[in-house]
Amino acid sequence: MELPVVQFTGRIIVIQSEGEARRAVDYLLTFPRLGIDTETRPNFKRGNMNPVALLQVSTPDTCFLFRLNYFGLPPCLVRLLTDEHTQKVGLSLHDDWAQLRRRTDFTPANYVELQDFVKPLGIADMSLQKLYANLFHQKISKNQRLTNWEADVLTEPQKRYAATDAWACLRLMEEAEQLLATHDYELVDNEDC
């Protein structure tokens, strides 16, 4: 709890139409690797599930927030998610893919599930917050997680939170690759702390 809070500090671009989405996807497909995450408006009634409202896709310095509740999952976004050249990195992607497929059926390609990738590091807790704290000694705030992702206008804290989650996946992947290549880390048992 005492760790310093980290937030994405790059550009955040909110995408609210299919035309804007096409231009954003053309740009994103120029990158070899992207961070990815989704947000869904919470539903506090048992058995009810809202569709994914927001798809976040981040480069190292720019995060696009696709408002799927405005325009669904158009062909251009399916093209991004199924592209075999640009790697997509995320956490709990199986859940994200399942929820996105409720909007449009597709088969994702060239993606990395961080929880699987970091297993050789021996980290026990695989939540985004704990992974980030373990590798970077910084905290990702989850204060906005249960907010209304279908609101007419996303607040600045919502945008920053959403962008941070996608961007953090990129950072975690890069750091995990480095640690696995160099073995320059020490695994500490919680009981030893």
User: Which residue segments constitute the domains of the chain, with CATH numbers given?
Assistant: 11-183 (3.30.420.10)
Query: What are the tens digits of pLDDT across the range 151-164?
Result: 999 999 999 999 99
Structure tokens at 12: 């955040």
pLDDT at 122: 86
pLDDT at 190: 60
Q: Which amino acid is at 100?
A: L
pLDDT at 55: 98
pLDDT at 37: 97
pLDDT at 191: 58
List b or e across 119-149, with b for residues whose CB sees 16 or more CB atoms inside 10 angstroms.
Answer: eebebeeeebeebbbbbbeebbeeebeebeb
Residues of the chain with pLDDT under 50: 193
Contact at 8 Å (CB) between 38 and 96? yes
